[in-house]
Chain A
Amino acid sequence: MKSTGQGSGYLGGEFLVKKTSALKKIKGGKTVKVDVEITDDERIHDIVISGDFFVYPQEALEELENKLKGCNLEEAKNVLREYSEKITALGFTLDDVAELLEKVFKSS
Chain B
Amino acid sequence: MEKWRLIINEGDAYWNMAIDEAMFILKDKGEIPNTLRLFVFNPSAVTIGYFQRVNDAVNLEFLNERKISITRRITGGGSVYHDVNGEVTYSVVASISDVATDVLKSYEIICKGLVYAIERFGLEAQFVPINDVVVNGKKISGSAQSRKKTALLQHGTFMYNTDLVTLASILKAPKEKLISHGVKSILERVTTLSRELGRTVSKEETIEALIEGFSKALNVEFEKGELMEKEIELARKLVEKYRSREWIFRR
A residues near B (Cβ < 8 Å) are 1-2, 23-25, 27-31, 33, 35, 48-58, 61, 88, 90-91
Contact = CB atoms under 8 A, between A and B. Distances in A.
B180 A54 contact: no
A72 B251 CA distance: 23
B144 interface: yes
29 contacts: A2-B176, A23-B174, A24-B176, A25-B177, A25-B179, A29-B132, A29-B180, A29-B181, A30-B130, A33-B56, A48-B251, A49-B51, A50-B53, A51-B49, A51-B51, A52-B49, A52-B51, A52-B57, A52-B76, A53-B76, A54-B131, A55-B51, A55-B76, A56-B103, A58-B74, A58-B146, A61-B51, A90-B76, A90-B103
Contacts of B129: 28
Interface string B36-58: 00000000000001111100110
Contacts of A24: 176
Interface string B102-135: 0110000000000000000000000001111000
A74 B131 CA distance: 34
A57 B163 CA distance: 34
Contact of A52 (B74, B79, B145, B147): B79
Across the A-B interface, the 9 shortest Cβ-Cβ residue pairs: A25-B176, A52-B78, A54-B76, A50-B53, A90-B130, A25-B177, A52-B49, A31-B177, A25-B180
B176 A56 contact: no
A55 B74 CA distance: 12
Contacts of B56: 33, 50
Contacts of A51: 49, 51-52
A25 B251 contact: no
B58 to A, nearest CB: 12
Contacts of B49: 51-52
B77 interface: yes
A43 B84 CA distance: 47
Contacts of B144: 54
Nearest to B50: A58
A58 B78 CA distance: 15
Given A25-B180, A27-B180, A54 B174 contact: no
Contact of A54 (B77, B79, B132, B251): B77
- Name which of A24, A33, A51, A57 has the most chain B CB atoms within 10 A of its CB: A51
A56 B107 CA distance: 14
Contact of B53 (A29, A48, A53, A55): A48
A97 to B, nearest CB: 12
Nearest to A23: B174
A11 B103 CA distance: 42
A56 B51 contact: no
A88 B56 CA distance: 24
Interface in B212-241: none
A80 to B, nearest CB: 16
A3 to B, nearest CB: 12
Given A25-B180, A31-B177, A56-B103, A50 B251 contact: yes
Contacts of B50: 58
A58 B36 CA distance: 23
Nearest to A57: B147
B132 A53 contact: no
Nearest to B77: A52
